[in-house]
Every structure is written in C-alpha cells, then in structure tokens.
Amino acid sequence: MTILIIDDDQALRDSLRRTLRREGYTVLEAAEGEEGLKVVKSHPVDVVLVDLFMPGKEGLETIGELRRSHPGIKIIAMSGGGKKGHMDVLKAAKLMGARRVLAKPFTREELIDTVEQLLVN
C-alpha cells in the first residue's frame, strides 16, 4: 500500500513517513500540490495525505485536481486548525473530495485507523 504525503513541512513529512513506514506502508512525499500531482501520475498511490495550508497550489485545489485526475484515489485532508478550529475549511475539503479529514495534531492511532478505514472501503 502506498501513501503519498503532500505537506510543505519537511519535519512533518518525515515524522509521518516514519510512522507509516513502521506500519509497513510505502511512503511517497511531495512538498507541494504540483509536485504531488506529478508523483501521483507516475506512481500508483492508494492514499494521499494532503495538508490544506500550502503555498502554490493550495490544499483544496490540490484535492480537487487529484479527484479529477484520479477519481479512485482516496484523499485524507490535514488541517492545522486544532481539533475544533476551522471546521468550515475541513468541510470544504470534504466537499472537494477528501474522504476523511484529520485535524492536526492527531495521534498515530487516528492516522492509522483513518488510513485503514479508507483502504478497506
């Protein structure tokens, strides 16, 4: 199973990668939306973790593009607004096509569960 992480923060990508790799997933990384789209084009990706706050191609846009280019792809949106903040943005992400939404900071369990849930469906 391949998971793509699209986030502009290197440290975050690394930590997520470490977590996911441990679980046995193959992890691909992209620093921003455009790059992410390229990766998806060239690699088979099952799940995409997209950070909503990114320069260039904004998170939501990226989600939209992904959905358009790869309709089967499962997208998890990440927001930085705390658990309670900016639910509107998260809702918007869902509207754009993100299957799930994770609000940073989320636990490893939350992440793994969400990923597994998506993969099951």
Compute how many other C-beta atoms are within 10 angstroms of the C-beta atom of residue 34: 16
Task: Assess 94 for contact with another protein (CB under 8 A).
Answer: no
Among 1, 2, 26, 34, binds another protein (CB under 8 A): 34
With binding defined as CB under 8 A, does residue 92 bind another protein? no
- Binding span for another protein by CB under 8 A among 19-27, 42-50, 93-101, 112-120: 19-27
Question: By CB under 8 A, is residue 80 in contact with another protein?
Answer: yes
Candidate list 1, 2, 8, 46; residue touching another protein; CB under 8 A: 8
* Burial of residue 20, with CB atoms counted within 10 A of its CB: 0-12 exposed, 13-18 middle, 19 or more buried: buried
Quick one: tokens of 120? 């099951």
Residue with tokens 């903040």: 85
Please enumerate in sequence order all residues whose Cβ is within 8 A of that of 72, keeping only pairs 6 or more positions apart, or say none: none
Among 1, 2, 9, 94, binds another protein (CB under 8 A): 9
> Could you say whether residue 53 binds another protein (CB under 8 A)?
yes
Per DSSP bridges, beta strands 47-51 and 26-30 are unpaired
